[in-house]
Each structure stands twice: as structure tokens, then as C-alpha cells.
A and B are shown apart, each in its own frame.
Chain A
Amino acid sequence: MSVIEIENLSFTYEKDIVLENISLDVYDKDFLAIIGPNGGGKSTLLKLILNMYHSKRGTIRVFGKAPAKNLSLIGYVPQNTNVNTEFPIKVIEVVLMGHVGSKNPLFGYGKDEISCAMGALAQVGMEDFSQSKIGSLSGGQRQRVMIARALCAHPKILILDEPTSSIDIQGQKEIYELLKLLNQSITIVVVSHDISIILEYANKAAHINKRLSYHDISDKENRFHTHKQGEHFCEVELLQMLGSENCSTCDTSISSVSKSVDGKRKDLK
């Protein structure tokens, strides 16, 4: 079952073509990684799905309806959660923001809302920090709180924009482990630069640079050269493969890419 359907979508921003004729289906329980160069249109695509931008050409369907109608089914974790850290706000209040827009009590927060928010914090392992000031947390902890905020509304799809861009390596791994766990019950779409990490966890990958090329990488273990202990994929290889636009059958391009990469390795030696 596809949860997000995008058909022939194009988007221009002040006369610049940002996205050109994009088609993409995201299926239930997918872990989709969206990669590509800066300015390639990754964040723009997310914002189109989230109804923050509107396009005149092409269609986006979320659970079969226009994005605006099903926004509550999408949880969103924005980029740059490290801005505004001086803001006097408690962790629990940030998470409760996930509820804004639904029915609220006249003032303050309802008991059910608070227990729901605490539940979301427990899901990301941050329940002990509910009364802390957001600025006192580390980057990784803050990112977990933002994920909890997105989970607060019980979404069916979780969309994250560069969730680990300002987090140390250990923190990044923890975030992805958490996403893997959440992926058991919800669909996950992640925009990221951390190619090697994301491909360890994702089962689908979309490379966007104005146009989109899509790859099913769920059986990646069998396909790619891996380094020791099968943990780390060769990034050069992956980038070249995923970036090639006419890759309809990945296998053929991989063999040629890996040959050229092997050649380069020899050159380096």
C-alpha cells in the first residue's frame, strides 16, 4: 500500500526549476532515504509533501488525499533544531506543541495531553528530562525531543530533514537505531547527507538533483562491496550508482561503477 504518491511533480522557485517531473511512491513501513547535493531540491520536496509549499504542476497524495487534508498523519522533524536554544521552554512543552491545533482545554494542558506527551518522550528515551530547559540538552537529546514532538500526534508517517547534521557520531547512530525501532510501526522518510549511515538502515533510496532516481536497496547486503564486518558501505560507489539518472536496472550500472571505483583505488595506491 502506498502512503505517499507523487506524480509528475514540478516546482519552480522564482523562475529557477527546483524539481522537475518527480514521481515517487512511498509504501507503508518503508524507510526511505532521500539523498542528493545541496540545493538539489530535497527539502523542497519535503515541504511540498507537508503543504508548506504548493506546486501547480503534478500531484501529491497522502493516504489518497491532498496533503492539507491528511497533515495530522504526518509527523515532521525540521532541520536546524539547534537554533533558538536560549528560548525559555521546557522539554514537555516542546513535545506538547505536537498537539497544537487539535482540541485544547481553555487554558493550560489537559491530563490526557500530558500523559500522551510523556508517552512520546518515553518512546525516545527522554522521559527523565521532561522538566529540563530545552537549551540545557545536547544536540542529540534535543533531536530526540523533536522526534517525540512529531510522535505526539500519533503519525503514520515520520518525515525528518537532516536529523543528524549537528550531532556527534555516537548520537547519530542512536538516532538511527531509534528510527529503526519506530519503523516497525510507521513509515519513515529521511533527508540526509550521511550516506553510509542512512543506507545501513534504509530499504529504499531516492536521489534528488532536480530529477529523481529511485532505488530499492532492501537487499543491499548482496549487492554492494562492504568493508570489514559488513558494516560500512563504500560511499563513492553508492553515490555514483544512486546519482546516475538512467539506472533502471541497478545491477548493470553497479558493475560498471564498481569497476571504475576499483580502478580508482588502484590509482590511489
Chain B
Amino acid sequence: MIEALSFEFIQHALIAGVLVSFTAGIIGSLIVVNRMVFLAGGIAHASYGGIGLAVFFGFPIFFGASLFAVVAALFVAYITLHKRHRIDTFIGLIWAVGMAIGVIFIDLTPGYNVDMMSYLFGSILAASTEDLYFMTALLSIILFVITFWYRDILAVSYDSEYAALRGVNVKFFYTLILILTALTVVVSIKVVGLILVIAMLTIPIYIAEKLSSSLFSMMFLSGFIAMFFTISGLWFSYTYNLTSGASIILVSAFSLGVFLLLYKNR
């Protein structure tokens, strides 16, 4: 294992794993406390349309996926704020339509034969330097946002009605949380793939929620737990030559099971 660390792709994978773990930990906490898990799932699958678009037109995958994910997030924000009772229908819609657009664009791309499985199940071992820049930039933006607007975000998440009464712009912060969710989903796709992204955004957070007494500690504890899962999942994947994304998720799920057993028998 130690000699593996000398490979550049392993180093990249580890750095990407740490960056994405904290991104997913912070934003995942917001997703869970705001009950947006299903919304995040819809956005993740819709972003596949952007991947197809990027492949077809030959621009960077991250850019295409981010574009689609953010548009999906804005759409979801609009629906939640204006037609809340129909939200599940519309999530189902963007979920399926996004995937379909992606598949069609990839069909239309002449001579394209890259394994699309890597977007479905992750390809952290193929993380490039540009990927790392993108991840660092996103984590910096997220840290900035939660540092300066922590109390507004906390107020909106805990009790949006009261926050509105106190003059907090609830619509703005709700939309902001969804846009950050969209971008987080895009970087998480690199690590675990869009099928598994929901697990990455919920399992570590669920454990952290039980152990935290504030949103802030929940965010960072989630980050550390996600990092632990990602690195041990990577080790597992490397040692037994298994798909990295699926290994990370199964390590997480197994740990969650152990945690819940111990937590119940405290």
C-alpha cells in the first residue's frame, strides 16, 4: 500500500477524495437537514444530460455537467417555492429526462467509445489536475458561503417561516443551497458516480447528525467521516481490484450498520 502512494494517480485520487469528502460533508448536511435528499438525486441524474452534451460538443465534462445540474437546481428551487405539492412529480421528470438527453447525445457522438460507466459509478483513480482545481475552487466557495452566511443558512434550514419574518431572504438562500448542491453532486460524481452519489451525501451525514449538537459540527464531522470512508474504500478497491465508487459506498454502508448497532446498545 505504501508503494502505491508514489503513483501520481493514487496521490490525485487521495487529494480528490479528501476535497470531495469535505464538500459532500458540508453540503450533504444541508441537504439532509433541509430534507432535500430526493431533490439532490434528481439533480444528480439530470446532470447526466450535461455529460452527454459535453461529450457531443467536445467541451469539458465538468462544465457540461455543472451547467445541467445548476439549471436543474434552479428548476427545482422554482418548483419548491411555487408548486411544492407537485415536487415529487417534477423531480421524477428531471431525473428521467436528464438521463435520456445524456444517452441520446452520446448515441449521436460519432466514434465515441469511452466507458460511460465511469460517470455512473465514479472514476476517482482517473482524477486529473483540472479536476482537483475544480474541486478546490468549489470547496473554497462553499467554505466562504457557510462562514459568512452561517446564521442565515441555519435560520432558513431550521425554521424558514421564522427566518422570513426576521427579514432573511429565504428564497435566495434556498436557491443558493440547491445550486451548491448541484455543484457538489457534480464533483461527487467523479468519486462515486451519479448512481451512488446519494449514498455519499447521506451515509456520513446520518452518522454525524446523531453525534452533533450543532449544524456546524455536523458539517465538519460529516467531512471527516466521509474522508475516512473514501480512503478506506479506496484502499479496499486497490487491494482487491474492485470498482472504487462501489467500494467506498459499501464500506460506508457497512460502517453505518456497525455504528447503528453500537449506538443503539450504548
Instruction: Say whether A and B bind each other.
Output: yes
Which A residues between 107 and 155 are near B, CB-CB below 8 angstroms? 107, 109, 131-133, 149, 153
Contact yes or no, B161 A52, CB < 8 A: yes
Given contact pairs A52-B161, A149-B162, enumerate 18 new A-B contacts (beta carbons under 8 Å).
A50-B165, A52-B165, A71-B165, A76-B165, A78-B159, A78-B161, A78-B162, A87-B215, A88-B212, A88-B217, A96-B151, A99-B166, A100-B151, A100-B168, A101-B168, A106-B148, A109-B151, A153-B166
A97 touches B163 (CB 8 A): yes
| A38: interface (CB < 8 Å) | no
Contacts of B167 in A (CB 8 A): 71, 100-101
Given A96-B151, A100-B168, A107-B150, the answer on whether A89 and B162 have CB atoms closer than 8 Å is no
Q: With an 8 A cutoff between CB atoms, is B155 at the interface? A: yes
Check A88 against B209 for contact (C-beta < 8 Å): yes
- Given known pairs A100-B152, A133-B213, the reply for A89 and B158 (CB within 8 Å) is yes
In the assembled complex, A229 has its CB within 8 A of some CB on chain B: no
Name the CB-closest residue of B to A50.
Answer: B165
Segment 129-161 of B: residues with Cβ below 8 Å from A: 147-148, 150-152, 154-155, 157-159, 161
A104 contacts partner chain B, Cβ-Cβ < 8 Å: yes
Partner of A104, one of B151, B158, B217: B151
* In the assembled complex, A231 has its CB within 8 A of some CB on chain B: no
In the assembled complex, B214 has its CB within 8 A of some CB on chain A: yes
Q: B-side interface residues toward A, CB under 8 Å?
A: 33, 147-148, 150-152, 154-155, 157-159, 161-168, 209, 212-215, 217-218
Contacts of A99 on B, CB cut-off 8 Å? Answer: 166
Contact check, A97 vs B162: say whether CB atoms are below 8 A apart: yes
Say yes or no for A84: interface residue by CB 8 A criterion: yes
The answer for the CA separation of A107 and B152 in the assembled complex, in Å, is 11
Q: Is chain B's interface secondary structure helix, strand, loop, or mixed overall?
A: helix
- A contacts, CB < 8 Å to B: 50-52, 71, 76, 78, 84, 86-90, 93-94, 96-101, 104, 106-107, 109, 131-133, 149, 153
Q: How many A-B residue pairs have CB under 8 A?
A: 69
**Main secondary structure on A side of the interface with B:** loop
Query: Do B215 and A97 touch across chains, with their CB atoms under 8 A apart?
Result: no
Chain B residues whose CB sits within 8 angstroms of the CB of A107 once the complex forms? 147-148, 150
Tell me, in angstroms, the Cα distance from A97 to B155 when the chains sit together.
6
Taken together as a complex, chains A and B put the C-alpha atoms of A51 and B162 apart, in Å, by 12
> Which one of A78, A87, A96 has the highest number of Cβ atoms from chain B below 10 Å of its Cβ?
A87
Partner of B215, one of A88, A106, A132: A88
Q: Which residues of B contact A98 (CB under 8 A)?
A: 166
Q: How far is the CA of A100 from the CA of B150 in the complex (A)?
A: 11
A93 touches B161 (CB 8 A): no
Q: List 23 A-B contacts (CB under 8 A).
A: A52-B165, A71-B165, A76-B162, A76-B165, A78-B161, A78-B162, A84-B159, A88-B213, A88-B215, A89-B158, A89-B214, A90-B213, A93-B154, A94-B158, A97-B155, A97-B158, A98-B166, A99-B166, A100-B155, A101-B167, A101-B168, A132-B213, A133-B213
Tell me the minimal C-beta distance from A54 to chain B in angstroms: 13
Residues of B within 8 A of A132 (CB): 213
Contact of A97 among B33, B147, B159, B209 (CB under 8 A): B159
What chain B residues lie within 8 Å of A76 (beta carbons)?
162, 165
B165-A93 in contact (CB<8A): no
- Output the least CB separation between A218 and chain B (Å): 30
Could you tell me if B148 and A87 are in contact, using CB atoms closer than 8 angstroms? no
Smallest Cβ distance from B114 to chain A, in angstroms? 42
In the bound complex, how far is the Cα of B33 from the Cα of A190, in angstroms?
Answer: 30
* Chain B residue with the shortest CB-CB distance to A132: B213
- Distance in Å: Cβ of A236 to nearest Cβ of chain B: 35
Closest approach, in angstroms, between the C-beta of A50 and any C-beta of chain B?
A: 6
Given A94-B158, A100-B163, is A88 in contact with B33 using a C-beta cutoff of 8 Å? yes
Asked if A84 and B158 make an inter-chain contact with CB atoms under 8 angstroms apart, the answer reads yes
Closest Cβ–Cβ distance, residue B74 to chain A (whole Å) = 25
Residues of A within 8 A of B209 (CB): 86, 88
A116 to B: closest C-beta gap in Å? 14
Contacts of A51 in B (CB 8 A): 165
CA of A104 to CA of B148, assembled, Å: 10
Q: How far is the CA of A131 from the CA of B215 in the complex (A)?
A: 13
Give the 8 A-B CB pairs with smallest separation, nearest first. A101-B167, A101-B166, A88-B212, A100-B166, A133-B213, A88-B218, A100-B155, A97-B155
Which residues does chain B contribute within 8 Å of A86, judged by CB atoms?
209
A180 to B30, CA, bound (A): 39
Residue among B167, B209, B212 with the highest chain A CB neighbour number at 10 A: B167
